[in-house]
Amino acid sequence: INFRIFYHFFNFRKIRMLLLFNFSCVMVFLSLILLVSILESQRIGGPTYTGVSFKDHGYYETTIETQIQADSFRGISENIEIDFFYPHNGAQFVVGETVKFLVKPEDKSTMDFFCDSMEFVITSENKLDKLIQNEFDGKKGRSVGFNFNVYHTLQEQFAYLDGLADIPGVTVSSIGNSVELRKLYKISIGNDSLPKIVVDCGIHAREWAAHAWINGYETNSVNWIIYPNLNPDGYLHTWTSYRYWRKNRASNLPQSTCIGVDLNRNYDIEWMNAGTSNSPCSDIYGGPSAFSEPESQAHRDDMLAMDKKLAYLTYHAYSQFIIYPYSSSYAAEAWNKVELDTVAKAMVDTISDTTGAYYEYGEGAPSFYPASGGSDDWSHNDSGANVPISLTIELRDRGQYGFALPESQLEDMFIENLAALRVRNHSLPPSDTEIIKTAYDHVAPGGSCNPANLESIGCPSDATCTYQLSILIFISTILIILV
């Protein structure tokens, strides 16, 4: 009996040890899987696009060749919902104009019939899903950290903006909240008593490649005010649900179940006059009234509270075009049109000299297209913010990729726009392209604005008001939505 007890006890211990050993192996294996998963999630660093697929949508590129085609196009655009990629307002139907647009699956057969009957030559195929996938593939294989060669999620942007408060001379604050109660960030660089140059970005959600501005001045002569993302709700929506969303996320009930207002048609300057729509389902819906939206209200109130405003720059995509007022009317003309034209031309010439990229420039409505209720016209007008120099910069590209600009083009786009903003007193100082590129290289790999890195470009590590540090801060701040 004792032997049997010993035997069973011995076997029990063997079984227990075997079970414990196997359990340990399983736990080690699971731990390794968990560790790899954590590392992989950090390496990938972002979500996969799970929003609307555009494979069944109709995407068209064509050129209007006759006046009959132009008139017919204007008519059908009033009967079905068309998302115009170019012209961005969808209101300029003139002979010789190239139009690029998207229609929903349920309207595709109607549009196909219309194009065939009016003998439009369609020169494109629908590659939208592929372009979106290319954007999100850029998140894969990327290490943790803020990198200026890739696009970033809203969460990553907000985390980075909060961290900028640790930089000497930089103030991070909020001017209010969006429709969905997200913070509207404001970055101030330099002394508040100095003349101000104001920059805003991201007013149109889908324009990921839309925000770069740097000075031709030092931070000890100008106070820089930057609104990095005036439409955070819409931007988040482009990552999670609908890549080509343009408006904010305001409810239009009870008038309509369609969502959103085009914030850049919501300013009180010739509101609802031209290049806009009173239909809530339109991508260029100007809202129920001027300044009806919390985002445009917050921007307005903060701008009006400022003194000594020298310039206002608003960044968009795409077209490679620098626009000055007025876009709201063909008849309106800026009081300092010659000055605005000179500055815009100098910027365009500098871009060409830097990377060879071709940008155009001109007065809004005559040169680009009519669009009333825009932030640039309101900022320039004496009934608005009354800023002498007001420019809209439409960044890359000219239509090959449109709103889905490849990340491989970001660096050149940064460099050319940074160089353009060396324009000072309507002329260019000696070229600092190499300094700009060196500063960019310091920021781009790790997204760090560490003053210790300045020594290699000839700037003391304790300097906070030098041109070189100014470049570093501007690259890391102004380009945040762009990447």
CB 442 within 8 A of CB 413: no
CA–chain centroid gap for 255, Å, is 29
Is 156 one of the annotated active-site residues of the chain? no
* Backbone angle region of 402, left / alpha / beta, with phi > 0 → left and psi within -120 to 50 → alpha: left
Residue of 394, 407, 434, 455 marked active site: 394
What is the Cα–Cα distance from 144 to 271, expressed in whole angstroms? 44
CA angle 176, 181, 186 (to 5 degrees): 35
CB 391 within 8 A of CB 343: yes
CB 483 within 8 A of CB 149: yes
What is the Cα–Cα distance from 120 to 106, expressed in whole angstroms? 20
CB 420 within 8 A of CB 351: yes
- Written in H, E and C, the secondary structure of 297-338 is HHHHHHHHHCCCEEEEEEEEECCCEEEECCCCCCCCCCCCHH
What is the pairing mode between strands 170-177 and 183-189? antiparallel
Tokens (6 digits) for 254: 């009870």
Tokens (6 digits) for 118: 């009016």
Sign of the C-alpha dihedral computed for residues 449, 170, 231 and 317 taken in this order: negative
Burial of residue 122 (CB within 10 Å: 0-12, 13-18, 19+) is: middle
Q: Which residues are catalytic?
A: 394
